[in-house]
Amino acid sequence: MRSSSGAILGLTLLAGFTMAAACAEEAPPACQVPASLQSSDSPLPRVTQAVKDAHALNILVAGSRSSTIPSAESNAYPARLQAYLKEGLPSVTVNVSVELQIKKTAAEVAAGFARLLENKKPTLVIWQTGTVDAMRSVDPDEFRAAIDQGVAALQKAGTDVILMNLQYSPRTESVISPPPYLDNLRVVAQQYDVPLFDRFAIMQQWNDSGDFDLFSASPGLNLVKRVHDCRGRALSKFVIDTAHLDTAKQNRQN
């Protein structure tokens, strides 16, 4: 009887472990991004050419405070972007640098692009913008004119551009009004045929799906690191897919 009972218990435990493993395999990974937000129809021709010809990719992030984690910069999304790009493009030399534009409006950032590009000479500029303008209630038409000026200057300097819109936060919805700035970024992206990385929609999706509690007033370092890692991963896929970089081909060329 004991032997029989032990066998039954063993089989029950085994079945439980098997079911748990199956559920773990079926569970979707955290911070998924809808396919519609993972790439753009607008091209990144200089990125494509640089990877093909020189096997090198030099990216500059023109960012704000949300580009950094002061106590853990290696976990901030630009560093994670570089790590994921190196993983996805193993035969390519990837360098991601950051130029912080803390508390600057889009107009102030755009005015400094010519000098900035002289020193950095990037293949791609990821321009993270909109939050400061929204917080200061900058006139949306003035914001649009500034984005227009900045993108024109970047393209004239011979670099590809990805626009990144505001960071989503359910806590600030009653304080600022994102829609006019989101809409104007989208309009300028279409006008200049540059990709728009919709950070706002992606983070809203993560919050609504329960991946992250972005309403918390004190998110904690671990949560911040996770959000940055997810953003870096999503952005790397966005760059690779939008520039139509064939990973298999890169491996063969190595």
- Percent share of the chain, pLDDT over 70: 83
- Distance set, CA 20 to CA 7, 23, 124, 209, 211 (Å): 20, 5, 44, 22, 20
Domain at 36-253: CATH code: 3.40.50.1110
pLDDT, one tens digit per residue, over 100-115 is: 998 999 999 999 998 8
Query: What's the pTM value of the predicted model, to 2 decimals?
Result: 0.84
* Residue 148 pLDDT exceeds 70: yes
* Residue 26 pLDDT exceeds 60: no
Domain boundaries, the chain: 1-30, 36-253
Q: Containing H/E element for 108?
A: helix 106-111
Confidence at residue 182, expressed as pLDDT on a 0 to 100 scale = 97
Confidence at residue 215, expressed as pLDDT on a 0 to 100 scale = 64
Give the single-character DSSP code of 43.
-
Is residue 90 classed as helix, strand or coil in its secondary structure? coil
Confidence at residue 65, expressed as pLDDT on a 0 to 100 scale = 84
* Residue 8 pLDDT exceeds 50: no
Confidence at residue 66, expressed as pLDDT on a 0 to 100 scale = 85
pLDDT, one tens digit per residue, over 170-181 is: 877 768 899 999
